[in-house]
Amino acid sequence: MNYLVSILLLAISTALINNMVFHYFVGNCPFIGVSRRVDMAFGMGAAVTFVVTIAAALSWIMTYFILAPGAPLTAAIWRLARHGSSAVVDLSILNYIVYIFVIAWAVQLVEMYVRKFFPPLYKSFGVFLPLITTNCVILFTCLEIMKHVPLAGAPVPDPWGLDKALIFAFFAGFGFLIAIVLMAGIREELDHCDVPAPLRGPGITMIVTGILALAFLGFTGMDANLARRLIKPAAPAAAPAATAPAAAVLPAE
Amino acid sequence: MKGSYIGQAWLAIVLASAFGAALAGVHAGLGPRIAANRLNDTLSQIPALVPGAARGEAVEVAGRLVYRAVDAAGAPVGWVVPANGQGFADRIELLIGLDRDAARITGLYVLQQNETPGLGNRVTEEAFRNRFRDQAAGAPLRVVKGRAGGAGEIEAVTGATVSSDSVTAIVNGAVDRFRREKPGMP
Amino acid sequence: MSERKSDGPTPMERFIGGLLPENPVYRQILGICPTLAVTNTMEGALTMGLAAAFVLLCSNVLISLIRPLLKPHLRILIFTLTIATFVTIADRVLAAYLYDMSKQLGPYIPLIIVNCIIIARCEICASKQSVGTAAADALGQSLGFTLGLMSIATVREILGFGTWFGRWLGWRVIPEMAPAHWSNWVVMILPPGAFLTLGLLLGVFNALTAKKEKAA
């Protein structure tokens, strides 16, 4: 039960509270570029969600098994090569390079899939589909997951298994989808308005994004407080500590 | 066409090897310095957290990393326990100073937080952290709004009740766990 | 490879271009992610600008040196490999020598890899022009980028913290006053403030340059 609740809270937190666009500032270039029409925005959001889930799964697997200090595969190969030496091999300096190539490969995969099964969508995307490679959302998601990959040697404060990494990635893409579709809906209406000339285009888009980000700020703290209410503490000794702050909580902020 | 795949890819392979070697060099050269930076972040706080401590030694207690604070002569004078938990906005990482018997809290330091600037992140200020000094570690501390009545009560930061609660909850949990798991005094 | 006489814009034109007419932040609207994330303090803006400058300069020079060897379909891969390597180096150097900044900038340094500015410059300039021109282009673009970042950071830090270079130099621009007279605009430090500042500054920039064009 606790597990399901923590998964649910991770999903809500990633999609709404720590939204990729409104909280972490990533994914702004396609956000400004592709948010003119709702159907294109939805297509872009869906494509990004797809790519980020695949890329995140692959990068978690590569980090856990190969790149992290003390990773199983690397350690096994090193032991074989050096006849039982148990030195810790740390390939994490290659992290960024591996992630960006995983992302490029995932984008190629999605491109081929979309071209084969949804040709009109492929044509309407044009150059924006390969440009997903430079979408900060995906690399940022991989980097966040990298921080939470369980390490063999040193304990990580908040380790995520492959399941949590996938949930995080999917809902990161989903949050991006929400943001970009919201923006597209607003911009379709803005087209009918008389925006001052200097602000037309990126200027007004940024201002509207700022207002949306203000709105999303209102979600802050939801996941922490829901966690406090819903997740039952494991050890009985922790119970008094958990109920004391819960009783004193009446958020005055 | 097949043969020219190698012809086309040789540049990529050569570059990849060159870059790989360069990165290995960077890792070998800078790695120790970066690790020292990370460790220093924590170790540099130890003298401020435990009175009389000159430095800290990393010790593993029940699978967790804690630091034994020692004076200049090497005699143990206390403990520094890293702790982390969920704050209002994001995770909060703390260092808790305890005396030799883990009976009193001697100090608190916030390593990492992402609370609301100007409100929640005032838990990093000395005024709030000093409220934990000299508190007994035996029973959980309680957060109160307004003036703290007696021992065992922590006055919350005005307008940042949840952040204050979170820090106190993290301290309570970590201190309780350490008292149960700590090794007998040497 | 037809006429090599006019090799495109000269190094000087490339350098000046990066500052104003083709400013990456205000004109090309590229590289927005770090622009918003690191500009709540001047130190963050300056460090990010320097890191991006290092990566851009090294990538441009290297790509320009190997440009006769680049095959059309593999060039993006080569660009990406080069940029990712230099970003890793920049990230490690920061973690070694400027650890506090490295912690503050967090994941936004590795995001330089997908910063559209760098790939765009490799594609537009470095893969087609000589090393000198590529270097001038890199310097101009990164100077323009840093100036753009610092302009936004100035507004955000002064309104949000009341300081300017508060962390490194400790200069207070707005003196400490009772909350009745002035309290810090916390929103400027948070994400919404970043978006609003960028939008308004974009408007100001466009208005100023439009007036100049009208006068000319």
Q: Which is nearest to A72 in space by CA: A166, A153, A142, A160?
A: A153
Would the pLDDT of A240 be above 80?
A: no
Instruction: Please check whether residue B22 lies inside any domain of the structure.
Output: no
Contacts of C44 (CB under 8 A, 6+ apart): C38, C101, C104, C105, C153
Q: Do B11 and C66 touch (CB under 8 A)?
A: yes
Structure tokens at A129: 């589909």
- Report whether pLDDT(B72) > 90: no
Domain-embedded: residue C1:
no
The answer to whether C54 and C116 are in contact (CB under 8 A) is: no
Are B89 and A224 inside 8 Å of each other by CB? yes
Domain that residue B96 falls in: 46-181
Does C171 reside within a domain? Answer: yes
Cα distance from B173 to chain C (closest Cα, Å)? 26
Tokens (6 digits) for A214: 């203000």
Query: Residue range B21-36: average pLDDT?
Result: 89
User: How many domains are contained in chain B?
Assistant: 1
Give whole-number Cα distances, A135 to A94, A132, C115, in Å: 20, 5, 9
3-state secondary structure C128-178: CCCHHHHHHHHHHHHHHHHHHHHHHHHHHHHHHCCEECCCCCCEECCCCCC
What is the value of ipTM here, to two decimals?
Answer: 0.85
In this structure, is residue C6 part of a structural domain? no
By percentage, how much of chain C surpasses pLDDT 70?
A: 95
Candidates C27, C28, C32, C185, partner chain A, best to mutate (most A CBs within 10 A): C32
User: Given CB atoms, is A239 within the 8 Å cutoff of chain B?
Assistant: no
Does residue B34 fall inside a structural domain? no
pLDDT surpasses 60 at A155? yes
pLDDT surpasses 90 at A227: no
Per-residue model confidence (pLDDT) at position C40? 83
The answer to whether the CB atoms of C88 and B26 lie below 8 A apart is yes
Q: How confident is the prediction for chain C on average, in pLDDT? A: 84
User: pLDDT-derived band of residue C82, with 50, 70 and 90 as boundaries?
Assistant: very high
- Tell me which of B90 and B46 has the higher pLDDT: B46
- pLDDT at position A140, please? 92
pLDDT-derived band at A233, boundaries 50, 70, 90: low
Which has more confidence, A44 or A246? A44
Q: Specify if C2 maps to a domain.
A: no
pLDDT at A232: 67
pLDDT: is A89 or B20 the higher one?
Answer: B20
Residues in a beta bridge with B67? B58, B80
pLDDT band at C6 (very low <50, low <70, confident <90, very high): very low
Evaluate if residue B73 carries a pLDDT over 90. no
Per-residue pLDDT, averaged over B40-53, amounts to 83
Q: Given CB atoms, is C202 within the 8 Å cutoff of chain A?
A: yes
Q: How far is CA A100 from the centre of its chain?
A: 15
- Chain C residues whose beta carbon lies within 8 Å of the beta carbon of residue A203: 199-200, 202-203, 206
Q: How far is CA A24 from CA A207, B7, C85, in A?
A: 16, 42, 24
Query: Where residue A239 falls among pLDDT bands split at 50, 70, 90?
Result: very low
Residue C5 inside a domain? The answer is: no
Q: Which of A198, A205, A213 sits opposite C191 (nearest CB)?
A: A213
Q: Is the pLDDT of residue C4 over 50?
A: no
What backbone phi and psi angles, to 5 degrees, belong to B84?
Answer: -150, 160
CA distance B186 to C23: 65
Nearest CB to B118: which of C71, C93, C184?
Answer: C184
The reported pLDDT for the residue numbered B4 is 62
Number of domains in chain C: 1
Q: How confident is the model at residue A252 (pLDDT cuts 50, 70, 90)?
A: very low
Q: Which tokens go with C162?
A: 């009341």
Find chain B residues with C-beta within 8 A of C66's C-beta: 11, 15
pLDDT given for residue A242 in this prediction = 40
* Residue B25 domain-assigned (yes or no): no
Q: Taken in order A123, A128, A132, A137, is the CA torsion positive or negative?
A: negative
pLDDT given for residue A243 in this prediction: 40
* Residue whose structure tokens are 């001038």: C136
Chain C residue at shortest CA distance from B113: C104
Q: Averaged over C90-107, what is the pLDDT?
A: 88
Which pLDDT value is given to residue B186? 43
Please indicate, yes or no, if residue C164 is contained in any of the structural domains: yes
Q: List the single range of A29-43, A109-123, B22-36, C35-49 with lowest mean pLDDT.
A: A29-43
For residue B60, tell me if it sits in a domain: yes
In C98-130, alpha helices (H): 99-105, 116-121
Q: What percent of chain A stands above pLDDT 90? A: 28
- Would you call C189 an interface residue with chain B, using a CB distance cutoff of 8 Å? yes
Query: Is C155's pLDDT higher than 50?
Result: yes
- Average pLDDT of the segment spanning A172-185: 93
- Partner-chain contact C192 A199, CB within 8 Å: no
Whether residue C29 lies inside any domain: the answer is yes
| Cβ within 8 Å of A, C 35-54 | 36-37
Average pLDDT taken over every residue of chain A: 82
> Does residue B89 sit within a domain?
yes
What residue numbers bound the domain in which C68 lies? 11-215
